[in-house]
Amino acid sequence: MTTTVLITGAAGNMGRMLRPLLRRSDRTLRLFDIAGITDLDPTEEYIQGSVTDRAAVARAVEGVDAIVHLGGLSTEDSWENILAVNVDGTQAIFDAAVTHGVTRVVYASSNHAVGFWTHDESDGMLAGDVAPRPDGFYGWSKAAGEALARLYHDRFGIDVVNLRIGSSFDRPPNYRGLASWMSPADTARLIEASLSDSAKGFHIVWGISANTRAWWSGAEGETIGYVPQDNSEIFADEFLRDHEWTFDDPILQRAGGAFCDHPLGQRM
Ligand SMILES: NC(=O)c1ccc[n+]([C@@H]2O[C@H](COP(=O)([O-])OP(=O)(O)OC[C@H]3O[C@@H](n4cnc5c(N)ncnc54)[C@H](O)[C@@H]3O)[C@@H](O)[C@H]2O)c1
């Protein structure tokens, strides 16, 4: 039986990486984004629209089996924009899931929902589901999204996996990424685990690879069957040419890195 998975924000960095890796002969990927997508595979459908437009969201959600909600603002922005896109937009997705009987949502949360947790407080491995400590309006919106997810799980029984994503890019964006990186292949593994039967219920997990320098726990990910296979250490020589690896460095000490010092509400 063919299943349909909606990916919001499919035109973005993660959407571009994930689309070829999530393709299956028995799966249709329905892509939704405010931005245009032209390179469609035969197994893909595309609906252009904004998560702030409830009619467009209804068209996107109707008939799908699961939602991978990546769409929205992915860094710090004004309070008004963050509320409209990341909070109202995420509520629109959950609301449409209930209306259209979708039972699984994978929500792209962020390390910035918990950015003020420190390495010193972590006992070496910070649990995946530590309480929110957002490091800006963006991180706050991700914590709000996790709380919305909890509401829709408890009230309507929607199965949700909240992914506290570290740095999901082709390669670590900087030296902090030696701890926080999640490779494209591991990102796809995490999404597949999140869509599987072992991820029924409500979960909050870290989204990182099996990095030697990681201090965010993989235990919660293991409970849904996520087994990362990549390790950022292959980039260590390159990144540590200019930086010492020390938790005296606030960028490494705090889960949210440089976001903790970025002016609130100021676009990056
Ligand atoms: N990449 C990472 O390392 C990382 C880390 C933590 C969290 N995340 C989260 O994962 C998700 C994907 O990240 P990314 O790196 O691909 O970000 P991105 O900014 O590259 O992509 C976001 C996509 O959302 C779309 N979008 C923006 N506003 C929209 C709207 N109103 N309606 C519909 N679509 C809209 C954009 O056009 C874009 O294609 C985001 O929610 C981000 O906050 C990513």
Q: Which of 233, 222, 171 is nearest to 199 (CA)?
A: 222
For residue 233, is it within any domain?
yes
Q: What is the pLDDT of residue 160?
A: 98
pLDDT band, very low/low/confident/very high, at 259 (cuts 50, 70, 90): very high
* Residue 195 and residue 153 in contact, taking contact as beta carbons nearer than 8 Å: no
For residue 266, is it within any domain?
no
For residues 142 and 148, give the distance between their C-alpha atoms in angstroms, rounded to a whole number.
10
Containing domain of residue 170, as a range? Answer: 3-261
Known catalytic membership, residue 138:
yes
CATH number of domain containing 137: 3.40.50.720
Q: Tell me the CA end-to-end span of the chain in Å, nearest whole number.
A: 43
Q: Is the CB of 118 under 6 A from ligand 1?
A: no
Percent of the chain residues topping a pLDDT of 90: 98
Number of structural domains in the chain? 1
Which DSSP category does 35 fall into? S
Catalytic one of 46, 107, 138, 175: 138
Tens digit of each residue's pLDDT (9 = 90 or more) over 148-196:
999 999 999 999 999 999 999 999 999 999 999 999 999 999 999 999 9
For residue 268, is it within any domain?
no
Tracing tokens 């902090």 back to the chain, one arrives at 176
Tens digit of each residue's pLDDT (9 = 90 or more) over 69-115:
999 999 999 999 999 999 999 999 999 999 999 999 999 999 999 99
Q: What is the pLDDT of residue 1?
A: 84
For residue 267, is it within any domain?
no
Q: What is the pLDDT of residue 124?
A: 86
Residue 52 Cα: closest atom of ligand 1: 31
Q: What is the pLDDT of residue 238?
A: 96
For residue 65, is it within any domain?
yes
For residues 265 and 91, give the distance between their C-alpha atoms in angstroms, rounded to a whole number.
21
Q: Is the CB of 48 under 6 A from ligand 1?
A: no
